């Protein structure tokens, strides 16, 4: 577990201060449903903001036209209503397979003219009655709201001159309407840095503890483990997962905050002894061959958003490169180089490459070889890999969950904030014979030993061409790089968060083009390449990533 311990040491936390035992009921209610909004529909509390005296919700089944009413009957205070609304509602069973519309009815204090809009929402099976409207408002049943007060946790930040405290922490489970636990807390800090937030729980009076993120889903403030806005009052929603089904009794919850210290820029795995080390910068003199053979170096890639796909005017653009906004909520470390033949051999014990040489990228590897054909084939429904696979072996040696990148992670890392066809900042001047590719990577028309037949072409030593702005080499050309995702024919134009690709498919996507392809296939957005899970070839290689939780 060397790597995991090193990562945990980046930011240290004070001892957790726990609440007294508070009531908790994890019993699932499988005969009701949660209604959730469709993509990109938001609700602005500014529509209310003291203007309206009454607010109600009407839900209508589109097929039967049957309506259900949920009404708030008191005056609306100025500002955010979340957590302050008392509801009158009728408990009802909603058809899990139906589609509904909700009308928000706002009565003005001045002219009492109803103002409403319709929002299409769809039910999610095996959940509970009504989660909320656009994640902002919660139904509350007074008789069973469980209110718990958490002791304030005073924490000192890692900076000697900065102090961070957590106070006024409360939580409530919204049972029996649903199982979610709302955690409210106030952070006071004089630090100018981002803050790392941790949430802990215990269902056995503190005998054992767990990260809330490990036994459910965190949403809203601090859900990603980081808060960037400093002092303020925050709200985090925790949805317990199925491991807490039928757990009843009490729970303790604790909140911690610490000045955020970003991970080191580079992480190095020594393949001889599996030890992990970190570097702030590239070594003087650059990356020597040992970083491409007996060591494996990774670059820290911060979470963020980017425009995936290619614009309509890009030279070489294909029809499956739909432009859409992608948000990646988790940072990750990504291999600076494609995995080389020597690195592969030190982990797997053999070199399967057709065109052997070091430090060249390994090829003739299949998706099933890397992840396995049983557990490893379950992505995206499962993240496990087979114990005997290449990645399974590497995970067992390092103690951390290295993997292939998703297609979105790959393009995000390849682009490194650029929006041009190549991550060098250049576009293509020609789809085939392209001088801009000569500095970006090995492709069909810049191989020194080209004899007119693509089968005589060979890849080259990793790191021979220009890196991108994040220091990653050979993202264009050399060997195609396998990703986790099944290949989707189209990605669509809707914004997405942390996409994982289709649930089924025939081939897995490979990105970056290769030494046998022309320039258009090597662009940042190019999606021309794929491979059957069990099929390998001399053009298929990979690089690894470690996603940070």
CA separation for the pair 310, 317 (Å, rounded): 7
Least confident stretch, 184-198, 440-454, 458-472: 440-454
Residue 528 lies in a domain: yes
Residue 83 lies in a domain: yes
Tell me the three state secondary structure of residue 422. Answer: coil
Q: Are residues 106 and 206 in the same domain?
A: no
Residue 60 has what pLDDT? 55
Cβ–Cβ under 8 Å, residues 131 and 35: yes
Q: Are residues 275 and 361 in the same domain?
A: yes
Residue 243 has what pLDDT? 87
Among the listed residues 500, 533, 256, 298, the one whose alpha carbon sits nearest the alpha carbon of residue 400 = 298
DSSP 345-398: HHHHSS---SS--TTSBP-S--HHHHH-SSGGGGTTT-----TTSHHHHHHHHH
Give the sign of the dihedral formed by CA 428, CA 433, CA 437, CA 439.
negative
Residue 429 has what pLDDT? 94
DSSP 243-298: GGTT-EEEEEEEEEEEE--PPPSEEEEETTT--EEEESSPPTT---GGGGTTEEEE
Q: Note the pLDDT tens digit of each residue in 72-96.
A: 333 333 333 333 333 333 333 444 4
Cβ–Cβ under 8 Å, residues 512 and 481: yes
Q: Are residues 277 and 249 in the same domain?
A: no
CA separation for the pair 422, 477 (Å, rounded): 11
505 by Cβ neighbours in 10 Å (0-12 / 13-18 / 19+) ranks as middle
Residue 412 lies in a domain: yes
Cβ–Cβ under 8 Å, residues 454 and 461: no
CA separation for the pair 455, 513 (Å, rounded): 15
For residue 126, the surrounding DSSP H or E stretch is: strand 118-127
Percent of the chain topping pLDDT 70: 69
Mean pLDDT of 251-263: 83
170 vs 131 pLDDT, higher one: 170
Q: Does pLDDT of 154 surpass 50?
A: no
**Reported confidence tier of residue 30, pLDDT bands at 50, 70, 90:** very low
How high is the mean pLDDT of the chain? 76
DSSP 479: S
Q: Give the length of the chain.
A: 549
Residue 160 has what pLDDT? 43
Q: Does pLDDT of 489 surpass 80?
A: yes
Residue 54 lies in a domain: yes
Percent of the chain topping pLDDT 90: 48
Q: Among 225, 259, 293, identify where a domain stops.
A: 259
Q: Are residues 149 and 246 in the same domain?
A: yes
Mean pLDDT of 503-515: 96
CA separation for the pair 168, 472 (Å, rounded): 45
CATH number at residue 320: 3.90.1580.10
Residue 326 has what pLDDT? 96
Q: Does pLDDT of 109 surpass 90?
A: no
Residue 257 has what pLDDT? 86
Q: Which two tokens stand for residue 13?
A: 């936390």
Mean pLDDT of 240-245: 86
Q: Are residues 343 and 250 in the same domain?
A: no
**Reported confidence tier of residue 153, pLDDT bands at 50, 70, 90:** very low
Q: Does pLDDT of 97 surpass 60?
A: no
Mean pLDDT of 134-139: 24
What separation in angstroms does the CA of 259 have from each of 306, 399, 432? 27, 26, 50
Q: Are residues 270 and 236 in the same domain?
A: no
Q: Are residues 292 and 193 in the same domain?
A: no
CA separation for the pair 47, 108 (Å, rounded): 10
Q: Note the pLDDT tens digit of each residue in 288-335.
A: 999 999 999 999 999 999 999 999 999 999 999 999 999 998 999 999
Residue 378: phi, psi to the nearest 5?
-85, -10
Residue 132 lies in a domain: no
**Reported confidence tier of residue 67, pLDDT bands at 50, 70, 90:** low
Residue 364 lies in a domain: yes
**Reported confidence tier of residue 214, pLDDT bands at 50, 70, 90:** confident
**At how many degrees (to 10) do helices 390-398 and 341-348 cross?**
70
Mean pLDDT of 189-196: 82
**Reported confidence tier of residue 523, pLDDT bands at 50, 70, 90:** very high
Q: Among 101, 127, 153, identify where a domain stops.
A: 127
Residue for token pair 């304030």 = 152
What separation in angstroms does the CA of 443 have from each of 126, 520, 535? 50, 10, 22
Q: Are residues 277 and 345 in the same domain?
A: yes
Count CB-CB contacts under 10 A for residue 352. 17
SS in 3 state form for 287-308? CCHHHHCCEEEEEEECCEEEEE
Least confident stretch, 150-159, 435-444, 445-454: 150-159
Q: Are residues 214 and 312 in the same domain?
A: no
Among the listed residues 496, 462, 547, the one whose alpha carbon sits nearest the alpha carbon of residue 225 = 547
Mean pLDDT of 469-496: 96
142 by Cβ neighbours in 10 Å (0-12 / 13-18 / 19+) ranks as exposed
Residue 324 lies in a domain: yes
Residue 77 has what pLDDT? 38
Residue 452 has what pLDDT? 52
Residue 16 has what pLDDT? 65
Q: Are residues 422 and 498 in the same domain?
A: yes
CA separation for the pair 231, 63 (Å, rounded): 48
Q: Does pLDDT of 196 surpass 60?
A: yes
Measured distance between the N- and C-terminal CA atoms of the chain, rounded to whole angstroms: 15
**Reported confidence tier of residue 261, pLDDT bands at 50, 70, 90:** confident
Residue 139 lies in a domain: no
Number of folded domains that form the chain: 3
CA separation for the pair 427, 421 (Å, rounded): 5
Q: Note the pLDDT tens digit of each residue in 329-350.
A: 899 999 999 999 999 999 999 9
**Reported confidence tier of residue 112, pLDDT bands at 50, 70, 90:** very low
Mean pLDDT of 48-53: 34
Q: Are residues 99 and 150 in the same domain?
A: no
Q: Note the pLDDT tens digit of each residue in 374-433.
A: 999 999 999 999 999 999 999 999 998 999 999 999 999 999 999 999 999 999 999 988
Residue 454: phi, psi to the nearest 5?
-60, -20
Domain of residue 72 covers 32-127
Give the sign of the dihedral formed by CA 325, CA 300, CA 263, CA 398.
positive
Q: Among 259, 289, 315, identify where a domain stops.
A: 259
Q: Are residues 254 and 299 in the same domain?
A: no
Q: Does pLDDT of 61 surpass 90?
A: no
271 vs 259 pLDDT, higher one: 271
């Amino acid at each position: 577990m060397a790597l995991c311990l090193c990562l945990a040491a980046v930011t240290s936390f004070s001892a957790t201060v726990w609440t007294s035992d508070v009531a908790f009921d994890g019993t699932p209610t499988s005969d009701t449903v949660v209604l959730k909004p469709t993509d990109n529909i938001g609700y602005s509390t500014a529509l209310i903001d003291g203007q309206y005296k009454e607010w109600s919700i009407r839900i209508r089944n589109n097929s039967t036209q049957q309506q259900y009413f949920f009404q708030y009957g008191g005056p609306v205070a100025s500002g955010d209503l979340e957590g302050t609304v008392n509801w009158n509602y009728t408990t009802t069973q909603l058809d899990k397979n139906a589609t509904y519309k909700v009308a928000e009815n706002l009565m003005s204090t001045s002219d009492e003219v109803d103002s409403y809009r319709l929002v299409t929402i769809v039910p999610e099976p095996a959940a509970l009655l009504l989660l909320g409207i656009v994640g902002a408002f919660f139904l509350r049943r007074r008789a069973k709201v469980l209110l718990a007060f958490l002791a304030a946790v005073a924490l000192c930040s890692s900076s000697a001159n900065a102090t961070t405290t957590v106070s006024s922490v409360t939580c409530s489970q919204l049972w029996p309407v649903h199982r979610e636990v709302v955690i409210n807390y106030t952070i006071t800090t004089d630090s100018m840095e981002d803050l790392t937030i941790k949430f802990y729980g215990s269902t056995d009076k503190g005998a054992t503890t767990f990260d809330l993120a490990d036994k459910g889903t965190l949403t809203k403030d601090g859900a990603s483990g980081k808060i960037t806005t400093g002092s303020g009052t925050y709200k985090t929603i925790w949805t317990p997962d199925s491991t807490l089904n039928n757990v009843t009794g009490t729970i303790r919850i604790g909140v911690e905050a610490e000045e955020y210290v970003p991970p080191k820029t580079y992480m190095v795995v020594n393949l001889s002894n599996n030890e992990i080390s970190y570097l702030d910068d590239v070594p003087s003199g650059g990356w020597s061959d040992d970083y491409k053979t007996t060591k494996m170096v990774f670059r820290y890639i911060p979470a963020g958003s980017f425009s995936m796909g290619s614009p309509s005017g890009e030279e070489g653009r294909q029809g499956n490169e739909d432009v859409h906004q992608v948000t990646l909520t988790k940072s990750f470390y990504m291999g600076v180089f494609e995995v080389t033949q020597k690195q592969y051999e030190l982990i797997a014990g053999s070199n399967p490459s057709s065109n052997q040489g070091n430090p060249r990228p390994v090829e003739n590897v299949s998706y099933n070889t890397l992840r396995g054909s049983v557990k490893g084939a379950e992505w995206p429904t499962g993240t496990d890999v087979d114990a005997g696979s290449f990645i399974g072996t590497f995970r067992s040696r390092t103690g951390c969950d290295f993997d292939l990148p998703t297609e979105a992670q790959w393009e995000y890392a390849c682009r490194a904030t650029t929006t041009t066809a190549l991550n060098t900042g250049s576009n293509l001047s020609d789809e085939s014979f392209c001088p801009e590719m000569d500095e970006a990577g090995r492709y069909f028309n810049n191989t020194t030993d080209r004899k007119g037949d693509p089968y005589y072409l060979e890849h080259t030593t990793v790191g021979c061409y220009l890196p991108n702005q994040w220091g990653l080499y050979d993202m264009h050309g050399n060997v195609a790089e396998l990703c986790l995702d099944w290949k989707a024919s189209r990605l669509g134009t809707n914004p997405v968060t942390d996409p994982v690709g289709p649930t089924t498919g025939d081939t897995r996507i490979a990105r970056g083009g290769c030494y046998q392809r022309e320039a258009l296939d090597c662009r940042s957005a190019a999606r021309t390449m794929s491979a059957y899970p069990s099929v390998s070839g001399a053009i298929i290689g990979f690089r690894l990533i470690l996603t940070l939780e």
